[in-house]
Every structure is written in structure tokens, then in C-alpha cells.
Chains A and B, each alone.
Chain A
Amino acid sequence: MNQLAIMGAIEQGLLFGILALGVYLTFRILNVPDLTVDGSFALGGAIAAKFIIDGTNPFLATLLAFIVGGLAGAFTGVLHTKGKINALLAGILTMIALYSINLRVMGKANLPLLREDTLFTYVKDMGIPNLAVGGVTLLSGVAIVFIVGVMVLKLIIDWFLHTDMGLDLRATGDNSKMIRSFGVNTDSTTIIGLALSNGLVALAGAWVAQYQGFADVGMGIGMIVIGLASVIVGEVLFGSSSIFRVTLAVILGSIVYRLVIAIALDQGLNPSDMKLITALIVIFALTVPTVAKGIWKKQAVRTARGGSSDA
């Protein structure tokens, strides 16, 4: 497999790591399955592309994507908590609504950014050299900048989840009855969590649009599953014993996911097969630990019964 493909996979893995962080916030911290993601990812791309083309500073355009994504998440949160709509359905409703809204924002189905100054052209212009050891390129200069950016985001999230407000958010997902008895409005924490999550997802969408050089109305399709794949693979491979560790794990999970996809493509599979591969990865990551635990338990029981039975 060629180095360029690997380097590209790592760069993408880092950007989609932001998506994974967002999905982690709802799926694991709030314990709410949120399907807004597909819509808010494309929303982030659409907002960033539209504003950049209209001459807005790319930093500002990206920040706007984050904020508007947050509003989309808050909308799902209000539907779920105040409107008492089932969380899955609330997410689907926002996602569907966003499809039309994204088309409105972009004005057409695809917005190219090739001639524009974007965050990505800034990063490339920084001219950071590739990191090579003994002639083998390990990381592109772009990836090094991405690592710094994603790590800063990760640390901010770590910090937030350890503040008073962050503790409330975590307790809302962990035991909502308990946290209400301590005076916390769980409707608010749920809405805040969904807003933050979708803000991050839209931020990822904004970055990806600038990285790939276009925003597309369909760019969000399947993002929830990719986010889940990253979270689950990350947790299985890199552990989830603490917040600090698990936020790192989901980013690494995202990189692993991209590498697996790159390998699958290298083996001659079609890009259109990747959704299937993604689903298989999630199924594999979800079932293998359970099955492995079962086998391990059976063996432990056998040992406890006084030595192995096949002796």
C-alpha cells in the first residue's frame, strides 16, 4: 500500500476524529442515540463553504459552522425534551429538515472551494515538513497541524466534562433521577449536550469541506455510523477507563477506521462498498468483546471447577 494513501488516511482520521468526539458526547455521555449528525455534518460543510465563497474569513466561517451546528443540535434537544418526542425520531426529523435547509444555504447541490482561501490552504501554506524516520514518511506536515488542532479540542472537552456543568451533563446520561434530585434541570443539560455534540460535528463538516475542496449536500450521509464506528473501535482498542483516555481513544479509533478503509480500497474494493465495510466494522467491534468475554468466562468457570476438563 502506498505511503500517500496512508498519510491521507491519517489526515482524514484526524479530521473525522472531531466528528467522533461529537458522537461520543451524545452516544456515551448523554446516553442518547442522536441521528441529527448526518444533517449537522453537511450543515457545517454548507455553512463554511457558503460563507468562504462569499468572502468571509475562513476562521470565522468555520466558527459559524460550529455555532449553527450547535443550534441544530439544540433543536433536536428541544424536540426530545420539551416536545417529548423519542430521541431517535427527534434526530431523524432534524436531519431530514436539514437536508432542505442545507440545499437552501448552498443554493445548489455542490459548492467547489478550489479557488478559495480556506483553513486548509492556510495549513498547507505553513509549509510544515513531513515527519520522516529513516526515509519512511510517518506523518505529513498537514497531519502534524491537524494533530495539534484536534488535541486542543480534545483537551477542551476533557476540561469541560470535569467542570460543574460537565459533571451534571455526565450524570444526566448516567442517572437522570439522581441528578434531578440534586437540583439539575435535565432538559437543559440534554439540550446543551446535543448542541455541543452537533456543534463539533458541524465543525468536522466544515473542516472536511475545506480539506476536500468542496461541500456537497450528500456529504453527511452515513456520518453517524462512521462516528459510532470510531467511538466503538477506539474504546475496544484503546480503553475507556477515564474521560481523558476515552476522548483520545475515539480519535485514534477514527484513524484506525480510516486506515482499515484505505486498506480495503487498496485491496480492490469499490468506494461504494465502504458503507458495507463500515457496518461490518461496527458489528465486529460491538460483538467481538461480548463473545470474547463469554469465552473467557467459560474458561474461568472451568478453571474454578478444578482444572481444565480436557486434561
Chain B
Amino acid sequence: MLNITNVNKVFNAGTVNEKIALRNVNLHVKKGEFITVIGSNGAGKSTMMNMISGGLTPDEGSIKIDGKDVTRLAEHQRAGLIGRVFQDPMAGTAPNMTIEENLAIALGRGKRRTLGFGVNNQKRELFREQLKQLDQGLENRLKTKVGFLSGGQRQALSLLMATFTEPKILLLDEHTAALDPKRAQLIVELTEKIVERYKLTTIMVTHNMEQALNMGNRLLMLHDGGIILDIPDEKKRTMKPQDLLRAFETARGGESFSEDRFLLT
């Protein structure tokens, strides 16, 4: 479903600020896989996600989604294939537009825009149906401006908007990190429910090792621009956070895991 081949990315090449963000990354994701990604700050997780979404272009290498080479496609040109939820709950929705208008935009993902009404009764019916699964009562507030919702509600709505059109790939970059624990848990449960329902091919970045182990069916660890661990489902099920730390040390040839670089939760 997703093939990342020999991707390299260097920021500010040739200057004192040169930073190698990705080194020769190879990743092959099968349809229906739910990958969790962990790694220290600056490891290159967001950079990898942005390569897939088209926010950044690789210096070298190629990216294919569902057999289609998207390496040189602009973000908006490949958006039809990709659903995304950002870390910032404010980032995924338009605050001065209503819930139904936001959903209408999501429904039109990657399609040609027309001069037909953005929202009509038929769409409203669909939106109500979809909003019900969030259990936030939003199905009765279609005409509320999204800016009036809480952070958790906005993130739940962002998640719905990213998924209900069943994208080929779902990208979640620390999408629960800005929420309080209770709300974060709610979004985690919702994520599992939705991914399961549509069998979405998903890549989720998290700083929470428990989350990374409990969710999904494959785990990647990034370090210094490379994938240093790729743990399959069977092995992942048996692991505890301590095992992950040990695996990291082995992979790095004895380098210990400095806790200040890796937020443990």
C-alpha cells in the first residue's frame, strides 16, 4: 500500500545548520497494517510523515502509494489518498465554519469542486450518522461553529474528518499529545474503533510507549533519521516498555537510552 524507498532528506544542506533528518529510509507497508512509531525528539518522525503527505519532498528516493508514484506530487494533489490528524487540535478544522461545513470539506477530499451546495440534506443525514460514533452529542450541533468546541471535541472531529472517506493511508502525528489524559484516552479508543471499522492502513507517531505497544500491529523505532527497530505484531504483543528500551540499546550497540531525550509516559 505504501512503499518508501531509499529516502533521504537534509535540511539546510551546505550550511552550518545542516541537519540530516532522514537517512536512507526504506519502509514497506501492507494494506491494513497499523504501525505505531516511536523515537526521540528530532529523530525524524514528523519529517517522515511529511514526506508521505507531501508537505516535504525527499532529496532522494521515491514514495509510492497504492502503486502510484507520488514522490513529486504536491500536498494537495495526493490528499485524496491520505487522511491526516495533526498534533494541534486547532490545526485540523476551520474554526469559523460550522461542523457541517467542515465535514462537507472533508467529504470532498481530493474531488473536483463544483458550484453545488456544499451542504445539503442528504449530506446532513450522513454527517449525523457519522458524528454519532463520536459519542459527543455533536450530531445535534451541526450548525455550531467549530471554534466553540473543546480541544478534545475538535480532535475527535478532526479524526472523523480524516477517516470517514476511507483514505488509503491514515497519518496520525502525536494526535493525542496536546490533550489531557482523559480526553487523550477517549481519542485513543476512537482511533482504534475507526481504524478497525474501515480497516485503514495507519501510521501513528506517539511518545507514549504503552500506547505504541498496545495499539496497532507493527512498531517502528526511529533514531537519528533511520529506522532502527521494526517489530512485528507477534513479538510486539509480548513486549513491555522495558523490553523496548533494552531493544533500543542493543540496536544502538550499547548506547543507553537517555530519558531526557525520550519522553516516557
Give residues in A with beta carbon < 8 Å to B.
160, 162-168, 170-171, 174-175, 177-186
Contacts and interface: CB of A to CB of B under 8 A. Distances in A.
Contact of A179 (B74, B80, B94, B116): B94
A190 to B, nearest CB: 13
24 contacts: A163-B118, A164-B104, A164-B115, A167-B101, A167-B104, A168-B108, A170-B96, A174-B95, A175-B90, A177-B91, A178-B91, A179-B94, A180-B75, A181-B53, A181-B75, A181-B84, A182-B79, A182-B109, A183-B108, A183-B110, A184-B76, A184-B113, A185-B74, A186-B76
B55 to A, nearest CB: 9
Interface string B97-116: 10001001110111101111
A167 B94 CA distance: 10
B91 A180 contact: no
Contacts of B113: 164-165, 168, 184
Interface in B143-180: 161
A177 B75 CA distance: 10
A178 B95 CA distance: 11
Contacts of B117: 162-164
A27 to B, nearest CB: 14
Contact of B94 (A164, A165, A175): A175
A187 to B, nearest CB: 9
Contacts of B76: 180, 183-186
Given A180-B75, A181-B75, A164 B109 contact: no
B114 to A, nearest CB: 5
A48 to B, nearest CB: 27
Give the most central of A164, A179, A180, A181: most B CB within 10 Å.
Answer: A181
B92 interface: yes
B8 interface: no
Given A165-B113, A166-B118, A168-B105, 5 more contacts: A160-B115, A175-B94, A179-B105, A182-B105, A183-B108
Given A171-B94, A181-B53, A162 B118 contact: yes
B93 to A, nearest CB: 6
B105 A167 contact: yes
B179 to A, nearest CB: 18
Contacts of A167: 97, 101, 104-105, 108, 118
Interface in B57-108: 74-77, 79-80, 82, 84, 86, 90-97, 101, 104-106, 108
Contacts of A160: 115
Contacts, number: 85
A182 B75 contact: no
B245 interface: no
**Chain B contact residues: helix, strand, loop or mixed:** loop
B94 A178 contact: yes
Contacts of B161: 182
B239 interface: no
Contacts of A175: 90-91, 93-95
A182 B97 contact: no
Nearest to B74: A185
Given A162-B119, A167-B97, A178 B92 contact: yes
Contacts of B105: 167-168, 171, 179, 182, 184
A174 B94 CA distance: 6
A183 B115 contact: no
Contacts of B77: 183
B78 to A, nearest CB: 8
Contacts of A185: 74, 76
B115 A163 contact: yes
A180 B84 CA distance: 11
8 smallest A-B Cβ distances: which pairs?
A: A183-B79, A174-B94, A183-B110, A167-B118, A171-B94, A164-B113, A175-B94, A165-B113
A283 B225 CA distance: 52
A170 B109 CA distance: 16
Nearest to B119: A162
Interface string B107-133: 011110111111100000000000000
B75 A164 contact: no
Nearest to B85: A181
Contacts of A174: 94-97
A23 B127 CA distance: 33
A247 B198 CA distance: 41
A32 to B, nearest CB: 15
Contacts of B111: 183
A170 B97 contact: yes
A171 B114 contact: no
